[in-house]
Structure 1
Amino acid sequence: MSILNVVGAKVWGGGEQYVYDMCDELHRWQIPSFVLVDETNQELQDRFTLVAEIITANLYSCKGFLSISSIVKQMNQYGIDVIQCHSGKYILLCLALKRLTGAKLIFYKHNVVQAKTDIYHRWIQSHVDAFICVSKQVYDAQVIPSISQKYHLVYNGINTHRFPSIECEHKEQKQFIVGYAGRITENKGIYELLAAIKIIHNSNNNIRLRICGDGIHDDIQELHHYIMQYDMKDYVEYIGFQQDMNSFYRSIDCLVAPSKVREAFGLVLCEAMYCKVPVIASTSGAQEEIIENGVSGILIDAVNSEVIAKSIQKLMQDDVIRVSIVEQGYKRVKSTFTIAKMVDSIVTIIRNLR
C-alpha cells in the first residue's frame, strides 16, 4: 500500500496539519505516503518533506489537469495505489487519476454541509471508493442511504508525539490563565470571551487571557482595537500563531472555545485535554461528541459573556471539579481521539476495499 494525499491549499491550515499528522503516523506503520502539492508552493513542500515524499505539479491552473500526465507517470513510478482527496476542488482530478492508474480513491469530508444529490454529485459518489467523515455531525450530513456502505466515521486524532510532558515556567499561583486557540474572527465567539474575562476581572484581577491564533489583517486589528478600547492590555495577551502548541497548552489553566459556527470537530479541544487542561466549549457542532458535560469538560448552550464567565469561575473556584475534569478529559482523548487510532481505522478501511 502506497498512499498519495492531494493537497491543493495555498497556505497551511487545519486540513494540512491533518495530512501532516496522518503521514507522520503512516511512517511509523512503515506505509509509504506521498503528498501532491503545487510546484510553486515552497512552504508546503518544506513542511511535508519532513513526513512524506513530495510530488509536485501545476495544481493552481485548471485544477491540476495541465499536469495530469506527469502526475500519472510519478504515481506509476512509485507504485501508488491509493489516492486521498481532501477538497472537493480537486475531486475531478482525483477521479481522473483513479481512472488512469487504477488506484482506489478516498474522499475526506471535513465540513458539516449537506450532501448534494443532483446528477453530477451522484456521478462523483458512484466513482469514489470510500468517504471518510471526521465526526458524526459530518457523517449525518453527508451519508447517502443508497450507498451508505461507502461512508465511514473516523474521528480526527491528535498526534500525541507533538505533546510530550514538559516543565513549564513557574506561574504565579494567584494567576488563573485562560487560553483561546483558533482563528481570530468574530464568529468564533472571541469577543464574548473577552467580555467574560472583563466581567471576572472586575471582581478578581488575577484573571489573565492568552489568545493564540491567526487571521486576516483587519480581524487582528479589530482585536487589538477592542483590547485597547476596553483597557484590557494589562491582562489580555495576543501572541499570534504558535508553532509550539504544546508549550501554549501547558502554560494555561483552562481553554475556552466558544464558537458560534457549526464545527465539524474540535481538534484544539482534544489537544488541550490531552495536555491535561480543562476545556469549556459551545455546543455548536461536534463538540458534544468529544466532551461529556461536567465530566470531561464543560459545555455551554449559549455563547454570551455571562455564561462563559460563570463556567470559567466554576473552574477557578472548585479544585475538585477541575481536577476531575482534567483526569477524565485526558482519558477520553487517549482512548478515542489519537492519531494512532485514526490511522488504524483508515488503513483497515483501505484494506477492506480490495
Structure 2
Amino acid sequence: MNADKVAIVGQIAKWKGQDIFIQAAKCLHQKYPELKFLIIGDVLFNKEEELNFKQTIIEEASGCAAIQFLGHQGNVRPLLNDIDILVHASVRPEPFGRVIIEGMAAKVPVIASGIGGPLEIIEHGLSGLLYQPGNVGGLVEAIEYLLTDKQGYQKIANQAYQRFQNKFTIEQTVSLVEKHIRLSVLKD
C-alpha cells in the first residue's frame, strides 16, 4: 500500500482528539517517515480553552515535520480525494460524524473512535475500523493495518462506499424523513 497522507478533519477542540492523532503520528513517523499527517480544521469559537488547546497541540507537533496544520477549509472534498486514511478521534460521544460519511463517499477508509455516532455508521472491519476512544496504541494499530494490508484497505474502502450509497446519500435521508413523516401523520 502506498499511502502517504493520513488526516483528521474537524473543529480543533480537546474532545475531538487531535492530541491523540498527534501522538499516533509521532509513533508511526518513526517507522513510516514518508507519511504525512494532516490536521484540517481550526477552533470555532475562539474561547480561551480552545485557543490554549490549539497552542498545546501545535507545540506538541512542532518536533515532527510530518505533521501539517492546514487550518479551516471551506470545502474539504478536494482534500478528502487526496488523502489515503481518514481519522475521527473524538474522545466523547458525538451524535453523528458527518466527516465519516464524507470519507466513505470519497472511498477513503475511515478509522473512528468506537463511541457515539461512529458506532451506528461504521461496521468494524467491514466499512471502517473502530478503536477505543483515547487509545493511542489502538489508533496506531488501525492505521498500520491499513498501511500494510492492501486487500484489507481496498475491501474497507469499497464496502464503506457501498454502505454510504445504501444508507447515507441525500436521497436515502430524504426517503427516511418522508417515511417518518407519513408514519407520524397516520398515527395522529
Question: Structures share a fold, TM > 0.5?
Answer: yes
Residue 223 in structure 1 maps to residue 51 in structure 2? no
Say which SS state the counterpart of residue 31 (structure 2) adopts: coil
> What is the rounded CA distance, in whole Å, between the counterparts of 2:9 and 2:15 in structure 1?
14
Say which SS state the counterpart of residue 311 (structure 1) adopts: helix
Displaced runs of 4 or more, over 6 A: none
> What is the rounded CA distance, in whole Å, between the counterparts of 2:135 and 2:181 in structure 1?
44
> What is the rounded CA distance, in whole Å, between the counterparts of 2:123 and 2:175 in structure 1?
25
Q: Which has the larger radius of gyration?
A: 1
The code of the aligned residue for 1:313 comes to: E
> What is the rounded CA distance, in whole Å, between the counterparts of 2:78 and 2:129 in structure 1?
23
Pairing 1:267-278 to 2, within 5 Å after superposition: 267-278=98-109
Residue deviations 1:48-91 (CA, integer Å, cap 9, x gap): xxxxxxxxxxxxxxxxxxxxxxxxxxxxxxxxxxxxxxxxxxxx
Aligned match for 2:5, one of 168, 173, 177: 177
Say which SS state the counterpart of residue 237 (structure 1) adopts: strand
Identity of aligned residues (%): 31
> What is the rounded CA distance, in whole Å, between the counterparts of 1:182 and 1:256 in structure 2?
10
How well do the aligned residues superpose, as a CA RMSD in angstroms? 1.7
1:187 shift after superposition: 1.5
Change (3 A) 1:203 1:349: closer
Residue 336 in structure 1 maps to residue 167 in structure 2? yes
Residue deviations 1:71-124 (CA, integer Å, cap 9, x gap): xxxxxxxxxxxxxxxxxxxxxxxxxxxxxxxxxxxxxxxxxxxxxxxxxxxxxx
Pairing 1:15-164 to 2, within 5 Å after superposition: none
- Look up the match of 1:257: 88
Mind listing any 5+ residue stretches in structure 2 that lack a counterpart? none
Residue 244 in structure 1 maps to residue 95 in structure 2? no
For these two proteins, the number of residue pairs brought into alignment is 179
- Look up the match of 1:145: none
Residue deviations 1:151-185 (CA, integer Å, cap 9, x gap): xxxxxxxxxxxxxxxxxxxxxx9552101011111
1:329 shift after superposition: 0.2
> What is the rounded CA distance, in whole Å, between the counterparts of 2:39 and 2:151 in structure 1?
26
> What is the rounded CA distance, in whole Å, between the counterparts of 2:30 and 2:126 in structure 1?
29
Aligned match for 1:198, one of 2, 26, 32: 26
Aligned match for 1:212, one of 40, 43, 59: 40
- Look up the match of 1:157: none
Contact persistence 1:175–1:208 (CA under 8 A): no
> What is the rounded CA distance, in whole Å, between the counterparts of 1:334 and 1:224 in structure 2?
37
Say which SS state the counterpart of residue 202 (structure 1) adopts: helix
Change (3 A) 1:299 1:175: closer
1:313 shift after superposition: 0.6
> What is the rounded CA distance, in whole Å, between the counterparts of 1:255 and 1:243 in structure 2?
18
- Higher-RCO chain (CA-CA 8 Å, sequence separation at least 6): 2
Query: With structure 2 as the length reference, what TM-score do the two structures score?
Result: 0.88
